[in-house]
Amino acid sequence: MLLTGKYSHLNGFAQNGDRFDGSQQHIGKLLQQAGYRTAVIGKWHLETDPTGFDHWQVLQGQGPYYNPVMLTHEGRRPIRGYVTEIITDLTLDWLSRQDGSQPFFLLCWHKAPHRNWEPGPKQLDLYDGVEFPEPETLFDDYRGRGSAAARQEMTIARDLTRHDLKLDPPHDLDAEQRIAWDAAYRDGNAAYEAAKLSGDELTRWNYQRYVADYLRCVAAVDESVGRVLDHLDETGLAKNTIVVYSSDQGWYLGEHGWYDKRWMYEESFRTPLLIRWPGRIEPGSVNSDLCMNLDLPETFLEAAGVPIPDDMQGRSLVPILEGRTPDDWRREVYYHYYEYPGPHMVAKHYGIRTERHKLIRFPELDEWELYDLEKDPHELTSVHADPAYAEVRADLERRLEALRQHYRDDDSVIDPSAARRRSLPAETVVREGVDGAVVSLPIHHDSTEANDPSQRPLTVGAWVEWSGDDGTLLAHGGETHGYLLGVRDRRPTLSVRLDGRLQRVVGAPLEPSLPTHLAARIDERGRAVLMIDGRAVGDPVDVGLIRRRPADGIDIGRDAGSSVDGVEGTRPWSGSLRDVRLILGPMSDEAFAEWATRRP
């Protein structure tokens, strides 16, 4: 939305697993065409490479907190360090090379404070000994709402993992970073293990650990913002530069017993927005008009004196920033959430929020919720069935339908690339990996399916020489949709993510040996089997077919994006890999047998 000024159903990116079509109109291209130098540095997570930017250095997938790989015009660039500091360093390096001869548009997009909230080396002991106040709704029982709030999987009480809680260390630390990490968490973890907490006391401990780590990550972002603002001041750029600080959503810090986001409830619906515009915005001023991230690209264009395309759906905030709200400014905002089933199992919903009320529709549950935000700011009791709100309910339902028509939302999501698809003959795409490995990707039907495993059988494997250490042979996707073949606890393992749920197919322990053919196959019915030297290991396991195209790409010998299998499954391969193949679609038994018996 921030790039295109269009809702998800019109820009084609409705949920994780979709791919952003960079050929469409967006703010980077429009400003680039108007003579601006454009750059994006940091988190991207849109699967396709950025377009419309003269310079880009973006994380692969979600990216790790420590020692990330940055994707650039020139290829992959691993960088040692902490991701927030790295993104800031790269941002300042780009800014330092601007000579003032050309205006610029720069997106500095941080990973933090995304899950799983790994503090940087400067913040590891920040807030030690601090006890944070608990939110009033930490022990919410969800009785006053419909069924969706109770069915989610994002509670601090039961859904945080050991990795989230730092009971297990990150996988991507080097030796020096691991020493500092263990020193910060060792004593607290030992006390936790000895206490054997349960019930409310366990929830309270989880909350304190989670919030401290979240705020440590935010502290690093705060320092980053300060460094960027200092640079603008020191170079004189601050006098003629608009700075916008925002996010893609709000976040739960224990409210309703939750972490994460997604809901239309206030804590995740309300989004931070701070803007500095010397000479145009009165410092310290506050505005309470209803605005959305949908409005930001239009705001950038007006500020730059560039015409706003008619098909953008937001409105420029420039008059509001200058203290002159238009008489016809919006009195309500619209929201639509798509990703179910998926991580945290938040039901699909859409709705309308006015200054005082909020109406939410859960179409697949056939449920409605209505809240009076003045009387019930924590949204604990829906008044949708209350006769006293019949008039309000009818008015909101009418206005909600009008918004859906205005934004052209009929519950479908367009495919912006559909008009450009063309039939292609089957061919092989070769992609380089580590240790001389290559992956063969047969293309079926059209170019959009080249790396798409959704609703298809697949075969993945390689000739390997295994060193004895656990590691990843090939990973495709991440924490929502994807699969990973590797060795875990000395056993060959196929890990599959379907809508955020992890399943594993595990073989017998391996022994380091001469070249071995290791593979996994998922047939058209979704049954998976591990294969060693061409022979099946155990009975087929029903894991199902991948339902959606993964948001993270293919990695050979590593899992560099968001993790398919959690911390244990993301260690790099430490032996050799030869003749790595990924066949998306049917592979005959004869072709497989030839591959598994012909040593490279």
pLDDT of residue 140: 97
Say if 26 falls within a structural domain.
Answer: no
pLDDT of residue 571: 77
The amino acid sitting at 582 is L
Output the six-digit token pair for 390.
Answer: 């019949």
CA distance 551 to 249: 19
pLDDT of residue 548: 76
CA distance 263 to 367: 15
Say if 303 falls within a structural domain.
Answer: no
Parallel/antiparallel/unpaired status of strands 37-42 and 55-59: parallel
Say if 496 falls within a structural domain.
Answer: yes
Cα dist from 494 to 36, 86, 169, 479, whole Å: 47, 33, 23, 15
pLDDT of residue 435: 39
Output the six-digit token pair for 311.
Answer: 């098909």
pLDDT of residue 359: 98
CA distance 517 to 178: 34
pLDDT of residue 416: 66
CA distance 332 to 298: 18
The amino acid sitting at 34 is A
Cα dist from 47 to 19, 44, 439, 477, whole Å: 5, 8, 19, 10
Output the six-digit token pair for 164.
Answer: 């989230």
Domain count, the chain: 2
CA distance 316 to 427: 47
Cα dist from 338 to 412, 470, 545, whole Å: 10, 36, 20
Say if 296 falls within a structural domain.
Answer: no
- pLDDT (tens digit, 0 to 9) for every residue of the chain, 600 residues total? 999 999 999 999 998 878 899 999 999 999 999 999 999 999 999 888 999 999 999 998 889 999 999 999 888 899 999 999 999 999 999 999 998 889 999 999 999 999 999 999 999 999 999 999 999 999 999 999 999 999 999 999 999 989 899 999 988 899 999 999 999 999 999 999 999 999 999 999 999 999 999 999 999 999 999 999 999 999 999 999 999 999 989 999 999 999 999 999 999 999 999 999 999 999 999 999 999 999 999 999 999 999 999 999 999 999 999 999 999 999 999 999 999 988 899 999 999 999 999 999 999 999 999 999 999 999 999 999 999 999 999 999 999 999 999 999 999 998 765 544 333 233 333 333 443 344 444 433 333 455 778 888 999 999 988 888 888 999 988 877 889 999 988 899 999 988 778 899 999 888 777 789 999 999 999 999 999 999 998 889 999 998 777 767 788 888 876 788 875 556 788 778 888 898 888 898 999 999 999 887
**Phi, psi of 231, deg, nearest 5:** -65, -45
CA distance 507 to 536: 10
Output the six-digit token pair for 165.
Answer: 């809680």
Instruction: Report the alpha-carbon angle 138-142-145, nearest 5.
Output: 135
Residue 188's Cβ-side half-sphere holds a number of Cα atoms within 13 Å equal to: 20
pLDDT of residue 253: 98
pLDDT of residue 242: 97
Instruction: Report the alpha-carbon angle 428-434-438, nearest 5.
Output: 15
pLDDT of residue 312: 97
**Last residue of one domain, picked from the residues 269, 301, 332:** 269
Domain that holds residue 428: 423-597
pTM, full prediction: 0.81
Say if 124 falls within a structural domain.
Answer: yes
pLDDT of residue 358: 98
pLDDT of residue 7: 97
**Phi, psi of 575, deg, nearest 5:** -100, -150
576-584: strand order across its sheet: 428-432, 438-442, 576-584, 458-465, 516-522, 527-532, 535-542
Instruction: Specify the 3-state DSSP secondary structure of 176.
Output: helix
Say if 107 falls within a structural domain.
Answer: no
pLDDT of residue 426: 33
Say if 71 falls within a structural domain.
Answer: no
List strand residue ranges (DSSP E) for 119-272, in order: 243-246
pLDDT of residue 455: 85
Say if 127 falls within a structural domain.
Answer: yes
Instruction: Specify the 3-state DSSP secondary structure of 367.
Output: strand
Pair 107, 39: CB distance under 8 Å: yes
Q: Which of 595, 564, 573 minimizes the C-alpha distance to 453?
A: 564
pLDDT of residue 575: 79
Tokens 């959305």 label which residue?
292
Tokens 């699969």 label which residue?
483
N- to C-terminal Cα distance for the chain? 48
3-state DSSP percent of the chain in helix, strand and coil, to 5: 25, 25, 50
CA distance 436 to 444: 26
Output the six-digit token pair for 83.
Answer: 């991701």
CA distance 397 to 192: 49
- Domain of 471: which CATH number? 2.60.120.200
Tokens 């291209």 label which residue?
29
Pair 263, 137: CB distance under 8 Å: no
Q: Which of 339, 331, 340, 332 minimizes the C-alpha distance to 359?
A: 332
